[in-house]
A and B are shown apart, each in its own frame.
Chain A
Amino acid sequence: MENSLSKEEFWKIYNNLPADLKDSLFSPDTEEVILNISQICNIDDISLLAKLIGDVLIGLLPPKEFKNKAQKKFGLEDANAQRLETYVQHYVFNPVADDLEVLYGETKKKEKEEPLKEEREDAYREIIQ
């Protein structure tokens, strides 16, 4: 089990987290998700899975990298890794997506971007004589 943070470091990070992320870290729902997905994906080392999810929630592992890291750590097949990511994304990361975006400094892409103006030929043209 890798543990890169000292207790002091962890609590320092934790105390600066948004309330929703703190909630998620202590939520029994998160624990249920970890247990369920570990059974679905045949992951034996539940503690390591909990650690990876914790890393995402405290800002140490970007959500986008979660899948690759989990796949490497647990030696999962692609299908299983995809299942794991979808499940965790849906139940754990999505409810706190806004906070995670702020945490990882990501800017939300503008959903409604201005549509590109199609270049059309003018229908009317003066006759140049």
Chain B
Amino acid sequence: MTLWWAIATVCLGCYALKLAGLAAPRRILDHPVVSRFAELVPVALLAALIAVQMFSENGELRFDLARTAGLGAAMIALLLRAPFLVVLATAAVITALARSFLG
């Protein structure tokens, strides 16, 4: 599977998922198992993505102090109710500063 095939699959698949919701009968959503699964899955996946992108490189566990400091700064920004882009900019700036000081 080349990268372009993966991109085509994701583009087509994501569009089909969006269209399926608009076109499907309304009663599907009323099924409690469906709505609960839909609420929970993104939480687990997003948390797993954060963990893997923060603490692993090329399939091995690795702790990066500068990046961890950046995510900590993002958490503080979120606690202070900063806007979305301010949160991202804070994380990047703190990571870059920590990296330049730590060498």
Chains A and B come from one and the same complex = no
Chain B residues with CB under 8 Å of chain A are none
